[in-house]
Amino acid sequence: MRILTILFISSMLFGACKTSQDPVEAPIDSHISNAPNYRDTIVETATTLEVGKACAVYFMPTAAQWQALKLEVGEEDFYTITDDYSWYLAESRTYLEEKGIAIREITPKKVRFHYSDGKIFEVNPPDSINWNVILFDGKVKTAEGTTVDISTTYESLFH
């Protein structure tokens, strides 16, 4: 009887320490990823802009690009160009704000648009001043247009 009690207690102790070896079944078509999910967000880091919702992205010129333009066109024309650019930038921003589109003005860095189907569309920063804006519908389409005629680009993307 004593031996049976010891065997019973021993089997209980050893059985309690054993972990389950049954496999855990993953759902069919599951995609396991340690990568961050940027859907419905906009996240800016030092090197990238991760865009997962409707957004307009303007690549802002660097100080070196402005200086190169000034040397190329001369001081008088430079100030005319920058004044026009500022006006069109403000007009296009106002238009997009009225449409409820998020806006990011960034210094040259990589932009990744995270499509709703899981694909990523990556845009590298331009090497020179780029007067354009990139629009993302927040789903699976992007379009590049000018700040001068932002409404045409917007209409082509969202309608």
The residue to which tokens 């049954």 are assigned? 22
CA distance 49 to 68: 25
CA distance 109 to 51: 13
Residue 29: inside a domain = no
Q: How many domains does the chain have?
A: 1
- Return averaged pLDDT per consecutive 10 residues of the chain, 159 residues in all: 38 39 38 67 94 96 93 96 95 97 94 94 90 94 94 93
Sign of the Cα pseudo-torsion (118, 119, 125, 131, in order) = negative
Residue 25: inside a domain = no
Domain boundaries, position 119 = 36-158
Q: CA 146 → CA 57, 58, 91, 129, 139, distances in Å?
A: 11, 10, 11, 13, 21
pTM: 0.75
